[in-house]
Amino acid sequence: MKKRLVIVGLGLIGGSLAKALRGFEDYEIIGVDVSQPTLRYAMEQDIVDRAEADPVRALAEGDLVFLCLHPQGIVEFMTEHRNHFRPGSMVTDVCGVKGAILKGAGVLPDTVSFVGGHPMAGTEFSGIQHALANMFHGAHYILTPNNQSSPEHLALMERLARYIGCADVVQTTAEQHDAIIAYTSQMMHVIAVSVCDDPSLFDYQGFEGDSFRGCTRVAALDVPLWTQLFSMNAEALGRALEQLEENIRQYRQAIQSGDLEGLSEKLARSSARKRKMNRMEASSGAVGRDRWEGSRDGATTSES
């Protein structure tokens, strides 16, 4: 008998997972969404085997459940439906923060195995019509198990990540994941919006160059999603930003005080670090590196 894989939330990531998971082992794919047009589209395009508007009915059948809602939606869904997951089922999510999700998963009964997940891919679009079967090709898939996670579940997630084309699967703690994300991704988004808050933004239109575009590209972000991602990772992100503010302040003080020697030393140290990083990246082969945020063809990403 076929097993059932339930995808709750057929947006960009849920839809892409459905497409990418076609033919994975012996799973039948059931898509759940609150939007009837989305469910209809998923059936018409043969993205799912079955469309289901009622999560309770879908969960009763689900062997493996993917929660692909917005961050807060995932937490609320687990709370509301904690008694609707089939005993013995395995539950995972795709959220870009993990500590808050693992905390939320604490409501699940012992009969359910939960593994937090973050397939690091996305595009600047949203919605199932932009879903891509190759969305996860070359991406990192980070897993953050908790004490309810079963070894079978982790093994399944590894096979699944390979099947959808991920370059690697990394197990880590939620804290480590959230610190990485705070620094490498969320901080870049705070920088981008902070630069665009400058009153001069439009005055100098046309004089911005590659460094300006590279730095501000991600400022055109999905506001509700990033409001949730930032606030659900407040501790790690707050720490990273405090460090950044201090680093910028040190450069500013060296510049304003005319401390050329100090400024030169700081620039030498930092540029040497960046060159070392470039060398490490070049020599590592960088498989999957380009997929971390899921940018494709240089498009603006809004990784979550």
- Which residue among 37, 197, 282, 297 contacts a copy of itself (CB under 8 A)? 197
**17 or 120: whose CB is closer to a copy of itself?**
120
Question: Do β-strands 113-119 and 90-93 pair in parallel, antiparallel, or remain unpaired?
Answer: parallel
C-alpha closest to that of 145 among 189, 177, 191, 193: 177
What is the rounded distance in angstroms from the CA atom of residue 34 to the CA atom of residue 8? Answer: 9
Q: Is 282 in the site for a copy of itself (CB under 8 A)?
A: no
Q: Is 266 in the site for a copy of itself (CB under 8 A)?
A: yes
User: By rule CB under 8 A, what string of x and - marks binding of each residue 24-53 to a copy of itself?
Assistant: ------------------------------
User: By rule CB under 8 A, what string of x and - marks binding of each residue 243-262 to a copy of itself?
Assistant: xxx-xxx-xx--xx-x-x--
Site for a copy of itself in 146-185 (CB under 8 A): 179-180, 183-185
**147 or 205: whose CB is closer to a copy of itself?**
205
User: By rule CB under 8 A, what string of x and - marks binding of each residue 213-242 to a copy of itself?
Assistant: xxxxxxxxx-xx-xx--xx--x--xx-xxx
What residues contact residue 97 under an 8 Å CB cut-off, 6+ apart?
Answer: 71, 177, 178, 181, 229, 232, 233
Asked whether the beta carbons of 21 and 29 are under 8 A apart, the reply is yes
Question: Do β-strands 3-8 and 90-93 pair in parallel, antiparallel, or remain unpaired?
Answer: unpaired
**55 or 96: whose CB is closer to a copy of itself?**
96
- Which residue among 23, 211, 282, 283 contacts a copy of itself (CB under 8 A)? 211
What is the rounded distance in angstroms from the CA atom of residue 160 to the CA atom of residue 21? Answer: 8
The pair of three-digit structure tokens given for residue 173, joined into one six-digit string = 């703690």
What is the rounded distance in angstroms from the CA atom of residue 293 to the CA atom of residue 37? Answer: 28
